[in-house]
Structure 1
Amino acid sequence: MSPATCFPARCISGTTFKPFSTNSANRTLRTALFFPGHGVHRVGMISSWVEAFPKTSKPFIDEMDSTLGFSLSRIVSRGPNSELNKTENSQPSIMATSILILRILEREFGFKTKERVDVALGHSLGEYSALVAGGYLDFLPALRMVRGRAEVMAQCSQRARQRSGESYGMIALICEPDHLQSLISAIQEFLGPGSMGSKDDSSYEMSSIQQVLIANINSKNQIVLSGSIQRIKTLLVQLRQFGGHDPRAVRLKSDSPFHSPIMAPAAQYMRTKLETTDIKFPAAMPCVSNVSAVPFTSKENLKDLLSRQCVETVRWWDSIRYLDQERGVKRWIGIGPGKVGRNLVGKEVGRIPSKGGGVWAICDPREVEDVINALEKSEHEDTDDV
């Protein structure tokens, strides 16, 4: 095997991406750890963990609140919803809850993450949890960065509303699996160049219709549009009248157009912040980028892609297919609030556990032992087949 093995350039929806090259590109990865993104938060989501595991939870929460300079834990535990739903609160709370659950697994159940997990990834905001789990970022600096990024994102949304008088957010489109590629092509045709994300920060000045973006490609039958809600609705009318598509549209729990050109100031914030953040590379395990859908290849590559993630399409479906089809991942463990991540992964790799594999989610303390037992069983089955 050559020192650096390259996968051929891969193409999705008419966009060609550079090949991935790394010394470990051919190593089989068996177990993936994945984390959820924005929208899975709810008041009380840490309460059961704090009650069940106070020894680990209370010092963690105290450190979190001290680092942020205010009691985020109170908002997460007691609400009100209006406070938790604010981007600057919901995003760090999701990330912190995910890492708290991971810490409980490690310290209360003896789960050795770096020995039993081969690769990490996270959906959108969840990418920061994955980077902490993989050893690239320390938790507290990452938490401060997520809070700062969320504050800038909230400001971007407020400024966009003030300038245009329109409402902003995200709408998921669900279609038949065999219609997805033609749906994406039709959207690109209506929206024009840049609808899959742009590296050019000047796009922040584009008109509202141009600021509609394909924010996520989540699965074989689901994408998410981000931008002006009125402009997205206009696009849907165009798709139905002239594009031959009639996808089911679902408004997501967000009043911000994440992964759109409107978030260009957040991308710039991240570029500046990452220059002064301690990043360990290489780290304990590969971590898959939302933007490239393959693992980060260097410290500079991580800085670039993590910044661009604010304004570019989250290629979640590509990421799952890459790990499933090219790297041999058989076991998928979701950690964090909600079951959205597990459901999206399950759509691609199958929900039913197979010999030596399976898809699980740990969102509640009552699930931990069952998941760990199922994981251990699948690990033994996998070893028996070697």
Structure 2
Amino acid sequence: MLTFMFPGQGAQHRGMGAALFEQFPRQVEQANAILGYDLPALCQQSGPKLNDTAFTQPALFTVNALAEMSVRRTGVEPDFVIGHSLGEYNALLSAGVIDFETGLQLVKMRGELMARQNGKGTMIAVLDPDLAQLQALADELSPDFCIANDNSPKQLVCAGSVAAVEGASRRITAGNIGKVVPLKVSGAFHTRFMADAAAEFRQFCARFSFKPGRLPVVSNLSARPHDGRDWPERLAEHLTRPVQWRQTLAYLRQQGPMLFQEVGPGTVLTTLAKANLTLH
């Protein structure tokens, strides 16, 4: 069996998608019309704009989508699809729950709403963590500090208020709980600090139609396939709840012999898959 994995924010880099933009001019034209700017030009920029959440999300969604179109041209078809955070929208596209136009409109609004939360928190990666001690610290400091991405036994991402994250970082370092790496983000994604964005996004999602998926999409929230119900609620909830990536890979491993193929720029998810799978 085969699982396609679609990366999320953090996988973007200057020059991504250049060859794909040439292969799929019709989709690029459609994206430019929806976004209101030249997407290939954005992806060639070396300035901060590509790393601005409002621009990063539609750019990555489009590059991921074109990368999948290119892979499918070869006749390769997955049995399961997953996406990390933003990448879950590409998983929904791959499964036929949404079409390209709908997906791009959704992630455009999602990125804009999340960007508006600037200053409402921050995030850190914790490498080689003592999982029990880190969870105990998160429980103690909740709701101002929590685990936002459970990526692998070797990497967790924590988020919260700036003051709480700074304090937790000092305690993690002093207590040898793990190595702290600050992340260049504008907010505490996948936490309660995204509640305002989630409320508005729920209303926006209600304007769209969602189809039954032709492939299982394993949810970031539950690490189980989506049941296909109440998509506006699920997509809004996705902004405020943690990404269960380690648990997602564990679920897929239980389905039988599985190959994992990253579809999109970079190898972030391939690295995380190896970190999870080599420990079992």
TM over 0.5: yes
- Counterparts of residues 50-69 of structure 1 (less than 5 Å): 50=21, 54=22, 56-69=23-36
> What's 1:342 paired with?
270
Q: AA paired with 1:103?
A: M
Offset of 1:262 from its aligned partner? 1.5
Matched position secondary structure for 1:299: coil
Give the partner amino acid of 1:225: C
Partner of 1:314: 243
Which structure 2 residues correspond to residues 358-373 of structure 1 after superposition, within 5 A? none
Structure 1, unaligned runs of 5 or more:
1-29, 161-167, 193-209, 352-386
Does the 8 Å contact 1:43/1:81 carry over to 2? Answer: no
- Give, as a single letter, the amino acid of the residue that structure 2 aligns with 1:128: Y
Tell whether the 8 Å contact from 1:289 to 1:306 is kept in structure 2 after alignment.
no
Partner residue of 1:303? 232
Displacement of 1:225: 0.9
User: SS at 1:156's partner residue?
Assistant: coil
Query: In the aligned structure 2, how far is the partner of 1:265 from the partner of 1:34?
Result: 29
Counterpart secondary structure, 2:114: helix
Match of 2:11 in 1: 40
RMSD of aligned residue pairs (Cα, Å): 1.9
**Alignment correspondent of 1:132:** 93
Distance in 1 (CA, whole Å) between partners of 2:276 and 2:105 is 33
For residues 82-111 of structure 1, what are the alpha-carbon distances to aligned partners after superposition, in whole Å with 9 as ceiling and x for unaligned?
11111100111111100011112233x3x2
2:224 is the counterpart of 1:294: yes
Whether the 8 Å contact between 2:249 and 2:273 is mirrored in structure 1 is yes
SS in 2 for 1:276: coil
Deviation at 1:169, TM superposition (A): 2.5
CA distance in 2, matches of 1:174, 1:99: 30
Residue 117 (1) aligns with residue 48 (2): no
Secondary structure of the 2:5 match is strand
The offset of 1:70, in angstroms, is: 2.0
Query: How many angstroms does 1:190 deviate by?
Result: 2.0
1:6 aligns to what? none
Give the letter for the 2:224 counterpart.
V
Residue pair 1:239, 1:245 contacting (<8 A) in 2 also: yes
Whether 1:264 aligns to 2:195 is yes
Higher normalized contact order (CA 8 Å, seq sep 6+, divided by chain length)? 2
Where does residue 358 of structure 1 map in the other structure? Answer: none
Letter in 1 for 2:186: D
Amino acid in structure 2 at the alignment position of 1:82: P
Q: Is the CA contact (8 Å cut-off) linking 1:39 and 1:254 kept in structure 2?
A: no
Q: Deviations over 1:206-258 (max 9, x none)?
A: xxxx43221100001211011334421201333455xx543101122323221
Work out whether 1:82 is the aligned partner of 2:52. no
Deviation digits for residues 316-371 of structure 1, max 9, x if unmatched? 000000110x21251111101111111001112239xxxxxxxxxxxxxxxxxxxx
1:103 equivalent to 2:103? Answer no
Query: After the TM superposition, which residues 1-386 of structure 1 pair with which residues of structure 2 at under 5 Å, given as runs?
Result: 30-50=1-21, 54=22, 56-77=23-44, 79-107=45-73, 109=74, 111-112=75-76, 116-158=77-119, 160=120, 168-175=121-128, 179-180=130-131, 182-192=132-142, 210-239=143-172, 244-281=175-212, 283-300=213-230, 302-324=231-253, 326-350=254-278
Structure 1 residue ranges (4+ consecutive) displaced by more than 6 angstroms after TM superposition: none
Separation in structure 1 between the aligned mates of residue 153 and residue 46 of structure 2, nearest angstrom: 36
Contact kept, 8 Å, 2:172 with 2:180, in 1: the verdict is no
* Aligned sequence identity (%): 29
